[in-house]
């Protein structure tokens, strides 16, 4: 028997019922050690436990805010009570939108002709509502009280579904008492059988004849915390290793770029909606960034103006953005290469390059949408490259991850021919789009095919996770993970 267990049995020999706190003090143990030992003793029926179930509440940040003030629909109702109606256009903040939704759901208000109007039942409802009061008191109690009304019960369920709070069942130990069997337990110093092995015993003589006390191997033990890499990082490392095994050199480049490198140099017209602040993060500081490559700027300006029939705007090209795909890194490298190639035509070819990094979209954050996520981009610069070379490279890459792929003709402004890549979920599953590829347009390289062509692709990494992690609910869990989620990951 472990010394902690012995100490507890000894201290309980007086037959009194004790709380865990009393025991901790008497036997001088930490809470974790005590609970572990008690669990063991209870398993072998040497002690009796009196338990109590408790529903512990923990608040999410949103719930905490409401608990300290009011539910958003209450705040809105209060406003409505004084103003009778509110113009919908004024209700644009995230909080207002939530409030609006709940006011309507609870029939406190209705929408009419662009206005939010209070309903008769809204007029009757008082502020703060019972729900707000309940939420506030729950935040102080931290547990669900034993006796609550059906109405309160359903309010709590609603708080749960609104993700304001969560409830976990806790099994508290109220008191510990020695059992009959425990009272008869006398084996406090078993001189014949060794309990814990010590340095003294190992270094003593005649250790061949020692007898060891038998342990109950079925006893429950506390779990260890396994520290590990983030699963997304593991996948990124696998991708990097796979590309380097295929003969690719890793490159990197800036996240914050003038629009020129993210859009113009990739042949995205200046009036294309994807460039709007609706989809792309533009910066208000720094608002513009210089484009060092004046000569290339001239070339791109000329081809884009001609192809897209637009008036070129220098500020649109300079506008600072968070890159929306990794191809900005590739195209910067292509430009560097072309400058060197102009000086020295005897470059060692092909050049095979890849990059992995984060790209950004201006999204409304929710459980399915993220503002930043990972992509990997690759290029091959060489002579006599073909579409079939491109297909082979991608098939080889995905084979390393046991993923079957196929190609579909597709349009991306900067490649021609272009192909979308589809991967099969499982052996007979549906086909999922996982990336785009093609041969870079010669308007971008400014070089004739007989000299050089460039194969290129961009692949979503989150989609690869989906192929690997069958339990994945949404990609957002990989970025907004709490420690519980991280600790429950399996190494893949």
CB nearer to other proteins: pick between 117 and 255: 255
Are 190 and 212 in contact by the 8 Å Cβ rule? The answer is no
Minimum separation from the CB atom of position 271 to other proteins (A): 5
Are 177 and 12 in contact by the 8 Å Cβ rule? The answer is yes
98 near other proteins (CB under 8 A)? no
464 near other proteins (CB under 8 A)? no
Report which DSSP code applies to 37. H
Question: Which tokens sit at 465?
Answer: 């996770």
d(CA 188, CA 176): 19
101 near other proteins (CB under 8 A)? no
477 near other proteins (CB under 8 A)? no
Residues 237-256 that bind other proteins (CB under 8 A): 237, 240-241, 243-252, 254-256
CB atoms near residue 306 (< 10 Å): 10
Residues 41-60 that bind other proteins (CB under 8 A): 56, 58
Q: Which of 33, 117, 281, 472 binds other proteins (CB under 8 A)?
A: 281
Residues 426-455 that bind other proteins (CB under 8 A): 439, 441-443, 449, 453
Minimum separation from the CB atom of position 232 to other proteins (A): 5
d(CA 329, CA 349): 19
368 near other proteins (CB under 8 A)? no
Tell me the window of 6-14, 100-108, 128-136, 227-235 that interacts with other proteins (CB under 8 A).
227-235
CB atoms near residue 30 (< 10 Å): 10
Q: Which of 229, 298, 339, 368 binds other proteins (CB under 8 A)?
A: 229
Residues 376-405 that bind other proteins (CB under 8 A): 380, 382, 384-389, 391-393, 395-396
What are the CB-based long-range contacts (under 8 Å, 24+) for 135-139? 135/63, 135/66, 135/67, 135/71, 135/159, 135/164, 136/67, 136/68, 138/57, 138/67, 138/165, 139/57, 139/59, 139/63, 139/64, 139/67, 139/68
- Measured CA distances, 273 to 263, 268, 270, 277, 310 (Å): 11, 10, 9, 9, 14
Reduced to 3 states (helix: H, G, I; strand: E, B; else coil), residue 208 is: helix
63 near other proteins (CB under 8 A)? no
d(CA 368, CA 374): 15
2 near other proteins (CB under 8 A)? no
CB nearer to other proteins: pick between 189 and 278: 278
Residues 411-430 that bind other proteins (CB under 8 A): 411, 413, 416-420
320 near other proteins (CB under 8 A)? yes
61 near other proteins (CB under 8 A)? yes
CB nearer to other proteins: pick between 145 and 286: 286
Minimum separation from the CB atom of position 211 to other proteins (A): 37
Site string for other proteins, 154-173 (x = CB under 8 A): --------------x-----
Residues 321-350 that bind other proteins (CB under 8 A): 322, 349-350
Reduced to 3 states (helix: H, G, I; strand: E, B; else coil), residue 166 is: strand
- Measured CA distances, 153 to 74, 130, 146, 150, 157 (Å): 19, 12, 11, 5, 6
93 near other proteins (CB under 8 A)? yes
Q: Which of 364, 428, 430, 471 binds other proteins (CB under 8 A)?
A: 364
Reduced to 3 states (helix: H, G, I; strand: E, B; else coil), residue 260 is: helix
CB nearer to other proteins: pick between 123 and 276: 276
Question: Which tokens sit at 109?
Answer: 């208000």
Between strands 115-118 and 85-87, the pairing is antiparallel
Are 355 and 459 in contact by the 8 Å Cβ rule? The answer is no
Minimum separation from the CB atom of position 267 to other proteins (A): 9
Buried b (16+ CB within 10 A) or exposed e, 229-266: eebbeebbeebbebbeeeebeebebeeebbbbbbbbbb
Minimum separation from the CB atom of position 389 to other proteins (A): 5
CB nearer to other proteins: pick between 148 and 307: 307
Minimum separation from the CB atom of position 20 to other proteins (A): 16
């Amino acid at each position: 028997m472990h010394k902690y267990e012995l100490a507890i049995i000894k201290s309980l020999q007086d037959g009194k019922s004790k709380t865990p706190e009393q025991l901790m003090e008497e036997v001088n143990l930490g809470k974790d050690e005590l609970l572990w030992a008690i669990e063991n003793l209870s398993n072998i029926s040497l002690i009796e436990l009196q338990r109590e179930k408790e529903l512990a509440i923990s608040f999410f940040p949103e719930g905490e805010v409401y608990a300290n003030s009011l539910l958003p629909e209450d705040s809105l109702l209060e406003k409505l009570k004084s103003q009778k109606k509110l113009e919908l256009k004024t209700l644009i903040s995230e909080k207002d939108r939530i409030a609006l939704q709940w006011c309507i759901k609870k029939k406190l208000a209705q929408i009419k002709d662009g206005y939010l109007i209070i309903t008769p039942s809204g007029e009757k409802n008082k502020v703060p509502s019972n729900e707000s009061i309940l939420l506030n008191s729950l935040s102080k109690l931290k547990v669900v009280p034993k006796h609550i009304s059906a109405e309160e019960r359903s309010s709590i369920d609603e708080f749960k579904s609104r993700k304001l709070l969560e409830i976990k069942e806790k099994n508290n130990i109220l008191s510990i008492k020695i059992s009959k069997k425990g009272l008869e337990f006398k084996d406090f110093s078993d001189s014949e059988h060794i309990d814990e092995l010590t340095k003294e015993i190992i270094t003593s003589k005649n250790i061949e004849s020692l007898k060891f006390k038998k342990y109950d191997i079925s006893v429950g033990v506390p779990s260890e915390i396994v520290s590990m890499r983030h699963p997304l990082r593991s996948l990124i490392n696998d991708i990097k290793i796979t590309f380097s095994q295929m003969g690719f050199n890793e490159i990197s480049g800036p996240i914050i770029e003038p629009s020129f490198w993210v859009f113009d140099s990739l042949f995205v017209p200046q009036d294309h909606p994807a460039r709007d602040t609706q989809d792309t993060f533009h910066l208000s500081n720094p608002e513009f960034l210089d484009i060092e490559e004046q000569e290339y700027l001239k070339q791109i300006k000329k081809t884009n103006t001609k192809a897209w029939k637009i008036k070129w705007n220098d500020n649109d090209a300079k506008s600072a953005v968070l890159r929306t795909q990794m191809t900005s890194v590739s195209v910067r490298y292509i430009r560097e290469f072309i400058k060197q190639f102009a000086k020295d035509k005897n470059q060692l070819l092909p050049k095979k390059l890849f990059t992995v990094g984060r790209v950004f979209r201006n999204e409304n954050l929710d459980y399915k949408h993220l503002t930043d996520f990972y992509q990997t981009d690759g290029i091959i610069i060489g002579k006599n490259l073909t579409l079939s070379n491109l297909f082979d490279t991608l098939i080889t890459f995905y084979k390393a991850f046991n993923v079957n792929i196929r190609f579909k003709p597709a349009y991306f402004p900067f490649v021609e021919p272009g192909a979308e890549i589809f991967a099969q979920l499982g052996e007979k599953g549906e086909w999922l789009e996982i990336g785009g590829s093609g041969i870079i347009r010669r308007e971008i390289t400014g070089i004739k095919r007989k000299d050089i062509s460039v194969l290129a692709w961009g692949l979503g990494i989150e989609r690869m996770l989906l192929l690997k992690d069958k339990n994945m609910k949404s990609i957002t869990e990989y970025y907004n993970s709490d420690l519980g989620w991280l600790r429950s990951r399996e190494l893949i």
